[in-house]
Structure 1
Amino acid sequence: MKKALKGAVVAVGVSAALVLAGCSAPGAGGTSSSDSGWAKQDASLKGTTITIWAATNSNKTADSVIKGFEKLTGATVTVQTIPDPYEQGVQTKVATGNKPDLAFWQPTASELTSLNAKTNLLPLTGAPWLSKYTGNLADFTGKLDGTRYAALVTSPAVIGVFYNKQTLAKGGITDTPKNWSELIADAKTLKAKGIDPFYEMGGDKWATQWWVQAQLADAAKDGLWTKINKNETAFTDSTVQTAVDNYKSYIDEGLFNSDIKTGTLQDQAAAILSGKAAMALQVNSFFTTMQATSTTKELDEKIGFVPVSPSGNVGTFIPDQSNALVAFKTGDSKKESAAKQFLSYWMGDGYADFVKDQSTVSLEKGVETPSTVPEALKQVAASLNTSVGSMQALAIANPDLYLYLDNMIQGTMTAKQVTESTQTQFAQLAKAQGASGF
């Protein structure tokens, strides 16, 4: 899971959603899309076995879908857990010719590239559920060079501020920040009252990059990552360097927990939930960590979410492997069709049961989000329509920015060395891909 977040990549949305036919209820024979490559949801699959690869944090995600699909079609669906680090494990297996029928995967341009999508993955062109997605979800993820390869099944993560309502109130903060300047001003107000404004998990490292990326939201909207991809600008230039310098200055000002060098995700979640610290700049998995030790009622009472960018309340989206699946070219046409049929059922007749079983935000029109979903997660999902892509979303390669930032926290790198190391690694990765300009 940590790798999914720290090395996640998000596909760039480049084309409009297809207008497709919906899926009918079981017993009515299902409905195929206008693309003849999509079987009906209830087509018989007796004697067919479908294998799904999943990470440790996603190997139970499809349980309700599998149960319903097996009953409806007669298929057998097995889930194989690939040990962490998941992405590397999958890539190694695929490189040796070992492929599943389906796999959880980050629905992103560079991660689709890492699987050599054009050679190894089935295009999901004409997917019958695309017109059901709410907002712009059909447009911004799951594609490579204009072709859809990934099916988004759960709400993507968004970088933003998770905060303890009661702690903010104790510090005299009555409104959430409307931009980055207000966020930092609120932090200084809290510090003056003896409250830790922010908690950072330097021990686990991977969330350090959110502090830089949130500050780059406006620049990302204005094409920062396109320019970096073309080597027209660099991590060492003022835009990214200023964000890193700011992060360092916040640390130096004491706006974080005193154990910033050793703090973990678990520590961070406990600190925000208990009110020991007021805020954390984080993504959805942070909230999931709090859910493991508290009830929806407690979370609704205590925890809120607000996206923040320099100019306003703009989030930065970063889907991980638990959000989407890809289907592989295996050379077995029957199993390839069955894999696509499984996705069609998941996002069709099986979707309402899925969101209820997983207590997750619905991505589809006509399927209500369960009442068991905490308000903060609904706030995260609501921010997606105005969010912009992260480095993982829009860059052609993803250097280890989080590691260099953690080195800065530990005192072994300067802010300038962070950007220099990041740029050097990025250029190497881009050149290895054959990217123009490197």
Structure 2
Amino acid sequence: MQRVRPALPVLRALALICATALAATACSDPTAGDGGGGGAGSSPAARVDPTARLDGVKLTMWTAQNTLGAPRQVIDAFEKATGATVEAQAVPDLYEQNVPTKLASGDRPDLMFWQPSVSTLPFVQPHRNLLPLDGEPWAAKLGDTEKSLGVVDGTRYAAIVTSPAVLGVYYNKDVFRKAGLTEAQFPHGYAELLKLGHTVKDRAGVAAFYESGGDKWPLQWHTQVQLTDLDQRWWDGLNTNKEKWTDPAVVRAITTYKDQLLGAGLAQKNYRTGTFTGSADALWNGEAAMVLNVTSFQTQLQAQHTTAEIDRRIGWFPVSNSDADGLYSPDQTNGVVAFRTGDEKRQNAARQFLAFWLGPDYPAYIEAMKIPSVQPAVPSPDGLPETSLAQLKALPTADGVFQAKAIVAPDTHLWLADMIYGKKTPREVAQAIQDQFAQVAKAQGAPGF
């Protein structure tokens, strides 16, 4: 599957759009009514026959431009099995910005890809606009991590069709061998990761890490890894305005990235202008030893190299601030939501489409897409790279990135980009994050803001 950049933090423009839309229309069609309205799907649904005939029924599904083909297999199979028609419609980039704008104007699809995280799902006002999906038979089949996604205020609004991206370290096996490193020396914590970086740089003579300041969005990951010791109480406090992004732990994480990685010469020389695609090339060619990134990096490798080639050259290991656990990061293709359209027949058909996708068609879907299964009872396809299998193994114990914990995901990467160009100090980066977080949380009507 060709994924968009996973866990993309909420854009400044999105914050302003939703602030305006909330004030005018609560980010929804004013005819939508509240979450307690009648009609199919407004309460936990009865059993759905995934292959019941739907001749003459037409559904629309919104996707991002670069994921228009992602639901193709299931759409084709569903149309053949039921007689329905499902039209995938690409929303222009930036997807996360344009979807709320279209919804605020009253336009809406029957189904839509949407990031199923607590920081992004609320932007489509699920209690007003979406069908609740509690009690659907596929919900109980999800893995533990996937069960935690797609839920707002205790109600499930998103079907989880793909596993969240996993954040960890991709490394070049040849470079590690040249440096005399083995799996026994993989780090158990971020401090050990930096120490490993010095070892590989000194012994192999290449950059320890490749950083993508030109594309900006990957800059967030080294800070993310260092926030995993903040417990759930801290995140609950942040979400109620009792804790702040200016907490010393956050400032310390940013400072460590600036001074002990970038300032210590562990990144490639052009880290300010490096790109995401450049990171894959540099790692493949042994010009950098490691890249800390999410599953979209895996997709980049698989687009250019065979599984056998990847297995020979690239490895992967998880790491967090004080142990060897990975992090999971929801993205736009993980979740599918169904809208309240006021048309009971289409709402039922949308629920049936999800039941088909995660029911009789699911083994064929993941086989066609060559992606891991979100259902433990359904085996993942054969032929996945070892790096992908390692990520799948790490997922059950992975910690969530801040997009999965904070009610707003600020544009951390933009402020970090300012820092690497000398425009902000770590303390000023943290303050910018806090200011945007509080602004959007207040616009959302979050308690305490």
TM norm structure 1: 0.91
1:393 partner amino acid = A
| Structure 2 counterpart of 1:346 | 357
| Structure 2 counterpart of 1:131 | 140
| Structure 2 counterpart of 1:432 | 443
1:302 and 2:313 equivalent? Answer: yes
| Structure 1 counterpart of 2:331 | 320
More displaced stretch, 246-255 vs 160-169: 160-169
User: What secondary structure does 2:119 align onto?
Assistant: helix
1:402 and 2:410 equivalent? Answer: no
| Structure 2 counterpart of 1:117 | 126
The CA deviation string for residues 200-249 of structure 1, in whole angstroms up to 9 with x for no partner, is 00000001111111111121x45332222222221212110110000001
The CA deviation string for residues 19-63 of structure 1, in whole angstroms up to 9 with x for no partner, is xxxxxxxxxxxxxxx954442011110000111111123211111
1:130 partner amino acid = A
| Structure 1 counterpart of 2:34 | none
| Structure 2 counterpart of 1:80 | 89
- Contact 1:5 1:206 survives alignment (8 Å): no
The percent identity for this pair of structures is 44
| Structure 2 counterpart of 1:17 | none
| Structure 2 counterpart of 1:140 | 148
User: What secondary structure does 1:413 align onto?
Assistant: coil
Structure 2 counterpart of 1:183, from 193, 215, 219: 193
- Contact 1:8 1:106 survives alignment (8 Å): no
CA spacing shift, 1:328–1:56, aligned 2, 3 Å: same
User: What secondary structure does 2:120 align onto?
Assistant: helix
User: What secondary structure does 1:322 align onto?
Assistant: coil
1:373 and 2:375 equivalent? Answer: no
- Contact 2:10 2:96 survives alignment (8 Å): no
- Aligned equivalents of 2:129 and 2:446: distance in 1? 21
- Contact 1:210 1:281 survives alignment (8 Å): yes
1:143 partner amino acid = V
2:7 partner amino acid = L
- Contact 2:4 2:67 survives alignment (8 Å): no
User: What secondary structure does 2:407 align onto?
Assistant: coil
- Contact 1:41 1:341 survives alignment (8 Å): yes
- Aligned equivalents of 1:336 and 1:236: distance in 2? 44
- Aligned equivalents of 1:191 and 1:366: distance in 2? 43
| Structure 2 counterpart of 1:240 | 250
| Structure 2 counterpart of 1:23 | none
| Structure 1 counterpart of 2:19 | none
More displaced stretch, 185-194 vs 223-232: 223-232
- Contact 1:171 1:195 survives alignment (8 Å): no
| Structure 1 counterpart of 2:109 | 100
The CA deviation string for residues 112-152 of structure 1, in whole angstroms up to 9 with x for no partner, is 21101011000011111122223x13531110000000011
User: What secondary structure does 2:65 align onto?
Assistant: coil
- Aligned equivalents of 2:106 and 2:193: distance in 1? 49
1:183 partner amino acid = L
- Aligned equivalents of 2:446 and 2:110: distance in 1? 30
- Aligned equivalents of 2:294 and 2:428: distance in 1? 26
CA spacing shift, 1:168–1:396, aligned 2, 3 Å: same
2:171 partner amino acid = Y
Per the TM alignment, residue 351 of structure 1 is displaced from its structure 2 partner at its CA by: 0.5
Per the TM alignment, residue 190 of structure 1 is displaced from its structure 2 partner at its CA by: 1.4
1:230 and 2:232 equivalent? Answer: no
What is the number of residues matched between the two proteins?
A: 412
1:10-49 aligned at under 5 Å gives the runs 36-49=45-58
More displaced stretch, 163-172 vs 241-250: 163-172
- Contact 1:200 1:257 survives alignment (8 Å): yes
- Aligned equivalents of 2:246 and 2:442: distance in 1? 18
- Aligned equivalents of 1:378 and 1:57: distance in 2? 25
- Aligned equivalents of 1:317 and 1:402: distance in 2? 18
- Aligned equivalents of 1:72 and 1:313: distance in 2? 45
- Contact 2:211 2:274 survives alignment (8 Å): yes
1:268 and 2:279 equivalent? Answer: yes
More displaced stretch, 251-260 vs 272-281: 272-281
More displaced stretch, 104-113 vs 334-343: 104-113
- Aligned equivalents of 1:84 and 1:118: distance in 2? 25
- Aligned equivalents of 2:197 and 2:436: distance in 1? 33
User: What secondary structure does 1:54 align onto?
Assistant: strand
More displaced stretch, 91-100 vs 177-186: 177-186
User: What secondary structure does 1:243 align onto?
Assistant: helix
- Contact 1:314 1:383 survives alignment (8 Å): yes
- Contact 2:170 2:316 survives alignment (8 Å): yes
| Structure 2 counterpart of 1:172 | 180
| Structure 2 counterpart of 1:27 | none
1:201 and 2:227 equivalent? Answer: no
1:154-173 aligned at under 5 Å gives the runs 154-173=162-181
Consecutive unaligned residues in structure 1, runs of 5 or more: 10-33
What RMSD, in angstroms, separates the aligned Cα atoms of the two structures? 1.7
- Aligned equivalents of 2:372 and 2:97: distance in 1? 29
Per the TM alignment, residue 8 of structure 1 is displaced from its structure 2 partner at its CA by: 6.4
| Structure 1 counterpart of 2:28 | none
Consecutive unaligned residues in structure 2, runs of 5 or more: 12-42
- Contact 2:170 2:291 survives alignment (8 Å): yes
CA spacing shift, 1:3–1:267, aligned 2, 3 Å: closer
Where does structure 1 differ by over 4 angstroms across 4 or more consecutive aligned residues?
1-4
The CA deviation string for residues 383-433 of structure 1, in whole angstroms up to 9 with x for no partner, is 121112211111111221110001111222111211111111112222222
